[in-house]
Amino acid sequence: MDVLQKIKAVVTDPKGFFSAARSEQGYSDAMKYYAAILLVPLAVELVIQNMGGTIAEVGVFETLSSVVNVYIVSMLLTFVFAGLIHGVAKLISGVNDFNKTYRVVAYGMTPSVLLGWVPIAGILASLYSFYVMVQGMKVTHGMTTLKSAVSVVLVPTIVAVAAVAIGLTLIPYMNW
Residue-wise pLDDT tens digits, 14-61: 999 999 988 888 889 999 999 999 999 988 888 877 776 666 677 777
Burial 133-168 (b: 16+ CB within 10 A, else e): bbbbbbbbbebeeebbbbbbebbeeeeeeeeeeeee
Domain boundaries, the chain: 3-173
The pLDDT of residue 66: 83
What share of the chain has pLDDT > 90, as a percent? 66
Query: For the residues 55-72, what does the mean pLDDT come to?
Result: 80
Kindly state the helix (H) or strand (E) to which residue 29 belongs, with its residue range: helix 28-37
Residue-wise pLDDT tens digits, 131-153: 999 999 999 999 999 999 999 99
What share of the chain has pLDDT > 70, as a percent? 96
